[in-house]
Amino acid sequence: MKQLFFTSIFLFSFVINLQNQSIDKEIRTQVNEISIKDSFTFDDYVIRFVNVLSDSRCPKGVMCVQAGAAIVKVVVYKSGKPIQNHNMTFTPNGYFPNNKGNLFNSETLKITSIGLLPYPKPETQIIKENYTLKLLIEEEVE
């Protein structure tokens, strides 16, 4: 009976000790920009900024009835084969309907599209080759 009691105390102490140990995980973040037709590579994956499908965002300094939006096409490849197609929406008023990790989401890595540049200016046409897609990369490291 004594042995069972001491074994129980030992196991209880061991479990409490495990709960008190914190697993320190650091989140390393960086922001990358990729131009249209360019890609971002990590491990066996490639994220490619394929095209700007539309850009009707209201230019800076202009009063618009509707704010508009920009829609871009992004493709995720694994081992050279497309596995996901995304149409990402960007609005000028800061509302960002895309979720964190919208381009890639695993236990240790999240890649989120966070912006589209340049922002429209009055009476200026943006050449497609001038667009860049901003990506937030968040990687969990121990």
CATH (domain of 133): 2.60.98
The count of structural domains within the chain is 1
Distance CA 50, CA 36 (A): 6
pLDDT at 82 over 70: yes
- Expressed as residue numbers, the domain containing 125 is 23-141
pLDDT of residue 129: 96
Distance CA 86, CA 111 (A): 13
Distance CA 139, CA 19 (A): 24
Q: From the CB of residue 135, how many other CB atoms can be counted at a distance below 10 Å?
A: 21
pLDDT of residue 96: 56
Residue 48 lies in a domain: yes
Q: From the CB of residue 58, how many other CB atoms can be counted at a distance below 10 Å?
A: 19
Residue 105 lies in a domain: yes
Residue 1 lies in a domain: no
∠ at Cα 56 (65, 36), nearest 5°?
Answer: 160
Residue 104: φ, ψ to 5°? -155, 135
How long is the chain? 142
∠ at Cα 141 (136, 142), nearest 5°?
Answer: 160
Distance CA 10, CA 17 (A): 10
For range 67-76, the mean pLDDT: 92
For the chain, the average pLDDT equals 82
Spatial neighbors of 131 by CB under 8 A, at least 6 apart, are 35, 36, 49, 52, 72, 116, 117, 118
Q: From the CB of residue 40, how many other CB atoms can be counted at a distance below 10 Å?
A: 20
pLDDT at 128 over 80: yes
Residue 36 lies in a domain: yes
Residue 130 lies in a domain: yes
Q: Mean pLDDT highest for which of 37-51, 84-98, 103-117? A: 37-51
Query: How much is the pTM?
Result: 0.73
Token pair 């995304």: residue: 86
